Amino acid sequence: MKKYISIGVTVLLMVLLAACGANPAPKSSGDTTQTPVQEQFPLTITDSTGTEVKIEKKPERIVSVMPGTTEIAYAVGAGDKVVGVSNYDNYPEDVKKKEKVGDLKVNIEKVVSLEPDVILADTGNGEAVDALRKTGLPVVVMEAKTFDEIYKSIEMIGKATGNDAKAAEVVGKMKTDVQDVQDKVKAVPQEKRPNVWIEVDPSLFTAGTGTFMHDLVTLAGGKNIAGDLDGWKQLSEEKVLQRNPDVIMNTYGYYDKEGAAKIKQRPKWQQIKAIKDGRVFAVDSDVVNRPGPRITEGLKEIAEKLHPELFQK
């Protein structure tokens, strides 16, 4: 469940995934018939590592070694085929019944023993990806840094599991959710959009451009104070103070329930606008850290915190 932040910090490793796939050419718009699922296989998918992965038949047994890929598998309708998941998996509830195959250090022997037809992995699994591929089993690897890449990841897993139509439905719903938030915040002028400090780790790692965390803030009607940086970066305390955010949100509440309170107590931070105005929040780690279908729930949560007056019921 924790991946991107491990680029500099091991406390939080966020799950990331992406890529695009290949499939037989779709029917023309005038033909409402669909190719039967069994006729779509075998198929070859080019995953995010540029590897061509051949899947011989519609998977009946799936092992997912990252929580984000697991959530996507369930969302596209392949949850009943999942037989193994990572130790970090906690959503949906059904994953608690599945065999555990390790954390980022995947138990290769355990995976093989489950006889999967396809393995869903992520670039965050590192060397485990190579080890899994050496087994000869098909491994589809994803990575997502932006919202668009999250959509592509969902489409890829839909394709790999024979659930293209459901994947398209999920992506469509997510885009509608994003549009709903944008419609609410679009009238907020740029000069009134709050400056936001995204704290993904207490050692002051944050998200710059090219990350879905940056997308979350900007789509929610905020301005990321680290938006001039690329990727995941660590800022000095002095730089955060200089940028003087209007809002501070931390994304590590899953392991530090007092994270927001500790931020408010930092001696040098007492003159920051966010501290003085009481606008320091912890956001749901799972929905903002995992690049999957629930990311739009995270978007709404952040938008409600940035612009509560626009989301009053």
**Per residue, what are the HEC states of the chain?**
CECHHHHCCCCCCECCCCECCCCCCCCCCCCCCCCCHHHHCCEEEEECCCCEEEECCCCCCEEECCHHHHHHHHHCCCHHHEEEECCCCCCCHHHHHCEECECCCECHHHHHHCCCCEEEEEHHHCHHHHHHHCCCCCEEEECCCCHHHHHHHHHHHHHHCCCHHHHHHHHHHHHHHHHHHHHHHCCCCHHHCCEEEEECECCCEEECECCHHHHHHHHCCCEECCCCCECEEECCHHHHHHHCCCEEEECCCCCCCCHHHHHHCCHHHCCCHHHHCCCEEECCHHHHHCCCCCHHHHHHHHHHHHCHHHCCC
What does the pLDDT read at residue 34?
A: 54
Q: Are 28 and 148 in a shared domain?
A: yes
Q: Are 10 and 126 in a shared domain?
A: yes
Q: Which phi and psi angles does 60 have, rounded to 5°? A: -105, -15
In a domain, 220, yes or no: yes
With tokens 């590192």, the residue in question is: 126
- Domain endpoint, select from 141, 174, 207: 174
Token duo for residue 300 = 């709404």
Torsion of CA 57, 63, 66, 70, to 10 degrees: 70
Token duo for residue 203 = 């050692």
Which residues, 6+ apart, have CB-to-CB distance to 119 below 8 Å? 62, 63, 64, 65, 111, 132, 137, 138, 139, 140
In angstroms and rounded to an integer, the radius of gyration of the C-alpha atoms of the chain is 20
State how far the Cα of 292 lies from the Cα of 147, in Å rounded to an integer. Answer: 9
In a domain, 181, yes or no: no
Asked whether 293 and 72 are in contact (CB, 8 A), the reply is yes
Q: Are 168 and 241 in a shared domain?
A: no
Amino acid in position 146:
T
In a domain, 180, yes or no: no
Q: How many CB atoms lie within 10 A of CB 223?
A: 17
Q: Are 134 and 273 in a shared domain?
A: no
Q: Are 123 and 214 in a shared domain?
A: no
Q: Are 160 and 280 in a shared domain?
A: no
Asked whether 142 and 69 are in contact (CB, 8 A), the reply is yes
Q: What total number of domains does the chain contain?
A: 2
> Which residue range(s) make up the domain with 35?
4-174
Q: Are 97 and 201 in a shared domain?
A: no
Asked whether 213 and 232 are in contact (CB, 8 A), the reply is no
Asked whether 62 and 120 are in contact (CB, 8 A), the reply is yes
What does the pLDDT read at residue 253?
A: 82
In a domain, 222, yes or no: yes
Asked whether 155 and 168 are in contact (CB, 8 A), the reply is yes
Q: Are 151 and 207 in a shared domain?
A: no
With tokens 């699994």, the residue in question is: 125
What does the pLDDT read at residue 37?
A: 60
Q: Are 209 and 111 in a shared domain?
A: no
Q: What is the CATH classification number for the domain harbouring 267?
A: 3.40.50.1980
What does the pLDDT read at residue 136?
A: 96
Q: Are 167 and 284 in a shared domain?
A: no
Counting as low any pLDDT under 50, the low residues of the chain are: 1-33
Q: Are 106 and 239 in a shared domain?
A: no
In a domain, 95, yes or no: yes
Angle at which helices 212-219 and 164-185 cross, to 10°:
50
What does the pLDDT read at residue 76?
A: 98
